[in-house]
Chain A
Amino acid sequence: MAAETGTPTTLTLKSNDDELFSVAESAAILSVTIRNMVEDGCAGGVIPLDNVDGKTLASVITYMNGISAIPADEEKKKSYRDKFLSDKDFETLADMVLAANYLNMSCLMDAVSAKIAQVMEKKSVGWVRRKFGIENDYTPEEEAAVKEEHKWTFEGVETDDDN
């Protein structure tokens, strides 16, 4: 359907815990999911986002506004992203990466994924397990076999106290 003259420039988003947010359409369409809704003419009323809670959505909207205010300058955008993510803990990052995935925002998804990856960089298996609370469900024999298979990746990595 062709765009009508009364197309709203502000969209209302609703989180799964019923919080409402107003956001400029130009910023919101960074999300391919929302953009598709706008293009299909389904964005007239309130847009329900069933997989995102209010706290995360507020954060994502801050990001949408911040990044869309920056003109096409990749370096400035990158430094905005770095700053935006710098004080987020892992729980928040996990919420954001899921929201970015649901909203289909590849730039946010990549930035958050890279941020999580950064935590794991050059760290030992034991350290990563403790950091993220990952439970080791290998038997000692199985673990030894996997380690043996990828032995080269353990050279020069600090050994852990717990394995």
Chain B
Amino acid sequence: MDRISELPKHILQRILYFLSQEDAVRTSVLSKLWRNIWCTRPNLDFSDNTFKGNKRKFLSVLDTTLQRYCDQEDQGLCLEKFHLRISLDDPYQESVSLLEKWVPRFTTMGVKTFRLSVVSNNVHLDLSSVVFKAEPLKRLRLRSCNLGRDIPDNIPFVRLTQEILDKIISSCPLLTTMSFVDCRDLTSVKLETKLHKNLKRFTFHTTDECSVEIDDIPTLEKIDILGCKVHFHSHEFTNLEYLSLHSVEISSNSIEESDQVLCIDAPNVNYFEYMGNFTPSISFAPTSNKGRWSSNVRFYVQEVEDAQSCLVKLSKQLQALTNSEISLEIIQYSDDNIAHVGEDVLVLQGGGGDYKPVAVEHLKLNCIHVSSLPPFFNCLFCICRPKKITRRWWSTMQGELLIKREQKELIEYFCIIRERGIQDLEDLSIGILDNSRRKWKRLSLRGPISWESALLDVDRICIRLKWRESCESSSKLLEL
């Protein structure tokens, strides 16, 4: 016999352990000896996402395979890992009943690692009947699931309460990843120290009104929250590496009253992302300093009268992130607001000394009306020193003519900046992306620009700026 087929069965099972479900099952055709080894390997990995075949087939393959494993339980078959990703989009809800039938059954079969990922288009899923007491559950991801209890439609206000969720969670003590994306009827989530002893990754995205409370969970490595009210009871996250807050409202008692700053002490953070139309300055405590980390701020400018305070807030936030490589995106909704930011802001800030300009790796401009650019940039350059500025246009959203005009005005503005010079600016260059050839070329700034040919089919402009080391940092260098 050949060398591989001669190996003891448990070694062959171990080899198949490292294959995808599909590759493992296909070995059954190799020879008679291989026929049933796949269904004794210690892991099952099913995903309807990668399954080749229709949903009906997926469900029947899943059902048959699970049955085979169950039938062998009394022969000492040990299932170590069970990964299942399933969407509940079939019309007869067979997938829901399959989950309800098998998950409780399997989690008692000695599974050590169970990952469950459920995607549905608001199909109702009674979470408690599926994962209640699923002790080996390590990752739970739910997308667009309706988690309300099985209550008739005429009683619409009964929801999955915190209490029920807590019960489920406390019955799954090994949970390391918990992700709820667009799950209806989940109005409040509280991460409690005593319930989440192993929680590392927490994702919560919603468009509904909802609140998330986070206690002291020292194991947390990733927090990713979109669109709800967040209440931080703890500010120390020793292991936190990734923090993303999108369109969230930070509960006021999470913020230090005096300076309106949400302090997060995350010494191991390597990525911070913030997006929203208000600015909770998140400051990472001085210990948050090991190595380089990056931050990505998406900043909305919305109201006319607020533009000035917006910039002050933005400045505060950038100051708090000085230790990181900052990428900043500024998004403007309405047309005529930033233009009203007067030169006085510039004076106020330039002379105030409170806001030292912060180095920004990349500044992206999104939907900024060009006529408002000069005063806007004048202010912006007082609070930050971008090394690269890019602006992109989508021709479907704006007319060709308008785009051309904006591009011309943008370039003209920077030509003037280059000639007149501004504080600490050494040099700048302008690159334009030729849309059809997908190639960047540098725009020659010597002599007059022939706009017609220069701006033919351009959808992106990038300005690179070289700044002098600021006086302060050079004097610091001298001291050293």
Contact = CB atoms under 8 A, between A and B. Distances in A.
B471 interface: no
B23 A120 contact: yes
Interface string A152-163: 111111000000
Contacts of A135: 1-2, 31
B27 A128 contact: yes
Interface in A92-126: 94, 97-98, 101, 109-110, 113-114, 116-118, 120-123, 125
A10 B53 CA distance: 58
B18 A132 contact: no
B270 to A, nearest CB: 15
B52 A155 contact: yes
Given A90-B3, A122-B23, A136 B30 contact: yes
A91 to B, nearest CB: 7
Interface string B6-43: 01101100111111101101111111101100000000
B32 A137 contact: yes
Nearest to B2: A133
A155 B53 CA distance: 8
B105 interface: no
Contacts of A121: 19-20, 23
Given A98-B11, A122-B23, A137-B31, A156 B52 contact: yes
Contacts of B53: 151-152, 155
Interface string B120-161: 000000000000000000000000000000000000000000
B5 interface: yes
A138 B29 CA distance: 8
A142 B1 CA distance: 20
Contacts of B32: 137-138, 142
Contacts, number: 99
A129 B19 contact: no
A88 interface: no
Interface string B50-85: 011100011001000000000000000000000000
A138 B27 CA distance: 13
B4 interface: yes
Chain B residues touching A, range: 20 to 34
B61 to A, nearest CB: 6
Contacts of A133: 2-3
Nearest to B18: A117
Contact of A114 (B18, B25, B27, B29): B18
Nearest to A133: B2
A72 interface: no
Given A132-B4, A152-B52, A157 B15 contact: no
Interface string A74-96: 00000000000000001100100
Contact of A146 (B14, B17, B29): B29
A94 B2 CA distance: 11
Contacts of A40: none
Contacts of B29: 125, 138, 143, 146-147, 150
Most A-side CB within 10 Å, residue of B17, B20, B52: B52
B57 to A, nearest CB: 6
B67 to A, nearest CB: 14
A132 B17 CA distance: 18
A150 B26 contact: yes
Contacts of A118: 18
Interface of A: 90-91, 94, 97-98, 101, 109-110, 113-114, 116-118, 120-123, 125, 128-129, 132-138, 142-143, 146-147, 149-157
Given A113-B14, A125-B30, A133-B2, 18 more contacts: A97-B15, A98-B7, A98-B11, A113-B18, A114-B18, A128-B30, A133-B3, A134-B30, A135-B2, A137-B32, A143-B29, A147-B29, A150-B29, A152-B58, A152-B61, A153-B23, A153-B25, A157-B26
> Which 9 A-B pairs give the minimum distances between C-beta atoms?
A155-B52, A117-B18, A133-B2, A153-B26, A114-B18, A113-B14, A152-B53, A132-B4, A113-B15
